[in-house]
Structure 1
Amino acid sequence: ADPAAYTAEAQVAAGAADAVVPPEELRATLGRWLRLLTRPSSDPAPPPYALGAADLPATGWDAVGRARSPHRPRAAAYLDAYFTSRATLSGDRCGGADPDGMLCGFGDHEGRTVAYAAQTGTATRPAGYRTAARLVRLADRLGIPVLTLVDTPGAANDAEAERQGAGPAVADLFAAVAAARTPLTTLVIGEGGSGGALALAAPDNTWATPESYFSVIAPELAAAILKRPPSDIRPTADALRIRPQDLVELGVVRGIVGRGPEST
């Protein structure tokens, strides 16, 4: 037997609990959660301001390069700028957690509560999708608007992800987003690759930053499926029409967000 498996810390790691709270912090933690979870709102959360470059990419491949840049702002920076405070929700209640790939929780934005599920730029694990679905359904029951940040090259597709039910996890998040009655807002902040990104997208309220792209498939994979040589990856990216301005023209996103007033 492994005695460590029965500890509170092990339950958090296994996705069965959200956090371990020291006794001296119980009162404040309970008060924070009660305040956050008892403020329903019927208005959609506004999309965050863009934190990176303001100019638009010239080509599809330029859009891909910007989205993949290690120097552009990631989810944590957007959440810190958007919320005055936030409380984390973690774990899928099915034996897993993806704290490095999917950030979920509730936060204060301009005096009201907004739930959030944010990808961090990595290939999202099945537990991350299940945690996001859990977050969306909880927010829906409580009448709290949801903000999702899309940033992933796609769902994790390694052998372990397959064993953990990657396909059903992505499908379940699609279902949770589609069935939600509470308003959802999505901002694509980086890579928006494949169904692993589409699963988090609000059907009628998705926005993009100038440093993002959004596509059902990455240009490299599209070229491979079409049996094109590697030299055709860049023109394939253009043909996919994945730039933010292309997405607006196609009606895939509502608009491109600009930088905040403090940035001008």
Structure 2
Amino acid sequence: MIGRVASSFAELPDDLGLSGVDDPRWWPGDGDQADGPLRWPGYGDQLSRAEASTGERESVVCGVAEIGGVTTVVVAFEFGFLGGSLGTRTGARIEQAFTHARELRLPVVSLVATGGSRMQEGTLALTQLPRIARQITLTREAGLPHVAVLRDPTTGGGWATLGAGADVVLGLRGAQVGFAGSRVRPPGYSVTQQFAAGLVDQLILAEELRGRLERWLRLLTTSADGPAPVPSALGQGTLPKTGWDAVVRARTLGRPRAKAYLAAYFDWHEPINGDRSGGVDPGVLCGFGHRDGETIAYAAQCGTATRPAGFRTAARLVRLADRLGIPVLTLVDTPGAANDAGAEKAGVGAAIADLFTAIAAARVPVTTLVIGEGGSGGALAFAAPDRMWVTPDSYFAVISPELATAILKRDPGQARQTADQLRLRPQDLVELGVAQGIAQLDQTTDQATAR
């Protein structure tokens, strides 16, 4: 029962028929098939003992449950059944569960705890992985969210499909998570290390699981009606007189940054973490937020030079929001893209191109507010070309005045003059048609207007 495999879900109903799905190719019983497709000696007895000890007929139990008011298909592994291993019947059950989710237009939650593919079924067990991957892909194409919970352990094909392939990945603290299990490559890789590498979105305690799932399912199944409203400005209300004044304001350490804007804008929000390619940029915040009963996705720069992982994480966020029909808000605040040797080696140019492409291809509306420095292409990659607003203490420029001065072979003392010539002030950007308007300080409205 689902309640047995995950104590945090003790109040969920028993499976509603989905767990009765079996692979038609074989079923342990009398005759030559008793020991499975490979006729593995003693396999039938192992299955019988596993069933007797767990009360389950397979290593995965599937059902439909209400989680925080959201009807959800749940795929839950029973690790006590042969180590939660993936066999042919496991693949059949998972396939049917995802099919059922698409038929009913329901999100999927996978509670993963597995040692990998089942040795006693050989390559037939291994071939369940592309079978599962196809179901994940079809469900993704259907615009339905998939949240995975990594329990202890999550290894092998379970990690490489249901775990790492989910839209949002939650990891229980202390869990062993990795493609190779501890018996293959001791010691096993931890969920904390996977989080640090940007492969897990959040680390949580078991007692937090239900509440966190309720929030995530609510966010991922509720979109906003129309584009994200433009946030109110939180900094200064007066406009800068000169270009250099605008630059100095945007670089002031005490002005409001992304965290302050997100806190003021959302009732509550949940972050995602990492680019799914081994990188995390702490200078970029991405996730989904709840605002006035609706969900809005966000990708926000925090005032630092944006690294390749930051652009890739933002692109991941935009594509996920677009697939789920959720509008996006981006906050621009960076002196530019990181340009050190490490950033170049990590593909900063390709990462910027990836984000440009994600925003250009988005079918949902993307709204941008420049809240600080708008430094060159590193800032522009986060910006919506037709829905960008600016705050009074921001600027946007093709490059910083200092670097522009150097490129033009001017005396460094001419940086102030260059700033004026670049026409980077908020009011300049509106006049040039780059920005739609200037966000106001008025907290009673979220609509920005040009002035």
TM-score (norm 1): 0.96
User: Is 1:10 aligned to residue 183 of structure 2?
Assistant: no
Aligned partners of 1:111, 1:4: CA distance in 2, in Å? 45
Q: Which 4+ residue blocks in structure 1 deviate beyond 4 angstroms? A: 1-5
- What corresponds to 1:206 in structure 2? 388
- What corresponds to 1:158 in structure 2? 340
Secondary structure of residue in 2 paired with 1:6: coil
Aligned partners of 2:246, 2:230: CA distance in 1, in Å? 20
- What corresponds to 2:253 in structure 1? 70
| Structure 2 unmatched ranges of 5 or more | 1-181, 446-451
User: Identity over aligned residues, as a percent?
Assistant: 66
Q: Structure 1 residue 111: deviation in Å?
A: 1.4
74, 81, 87: which one pairs with 2:270?
87
Q: Structure 1 residue 156: deviation in Å?
A: 0.7
- What corresponds to 1:239 in structure 2? 421
Question: Does the aligned pair in 2 maintain the 1:139–1:145 contact within 8 Å?
Answer: yes
Secondary structure of residue in 2 paired with 1:20: strand
Secondary structure of residue in 2 paired with 1:95: coil
Q: Structure 1 residue 110: deviation in Å?
A: 1.6
158, 172, 177: which one pairs with 2:354?
172
26, 30, 38: which one pairs with 2:213?
30
Amino acid across the alignment from 1:242: L
Question: Does the aligned pair in 2 maintain the 1:248–1:254 contact within 8 Å?
Answer: yes
Q: Structure 1 residue 159: deviation in Å?
A: 1.1
- What corresponds to 2:406 in structure 1? 224
User: Is 1:258 aligned to residue 405 of structure 2?
Assistant: no
Amino acid across the alignment from 2:426: P
Question: Does the aligned pair in 2 maintain the 1:86–1:108 contact within 8 Å?
Answer: yes
Structure 1 residues 110-121: aligned runs within 5 Å: 110-121=292-303
Amino acid across the alignment from 1:252: V
Q: Structure 1 residue 4: deviation in Å?
A: 7.4
The CA RMSD over aligned residues, in Å, is: 1.6
Aligned partners of 2:401, 2:361: CA distance in 1, in Å? 31
- What corresponds to 1:145 in structure 2? 327
CA shift digits 1:132-181 (9 cap, x unpaired): 00000000000000000000000111111111111100110000011101
Aligned partners of 2:380, 2:217: CA distance in 1, in Å? 32
Aligned partners of 2:444, 2:259: CA distance in 1, in Å? 19
Q: Structure 1 residue 3: deviation in Å?
A: 6.3
Question: Does the aligned pair in 2 maintain the 1:150–1:200 contact within 8 Å?
Answer: yes
Q: Structure 1 residue 40: deviation in Å?
A: 2.4
CA shift digits 1:200-235 (9 cap, x unpaired): 001110000000001121111111111111111111
Q: Structure 1 residue 184: deviation in Å?
A: 0.5
Q: Structure 1 residue 261: deviation in Å?
A: 3.2
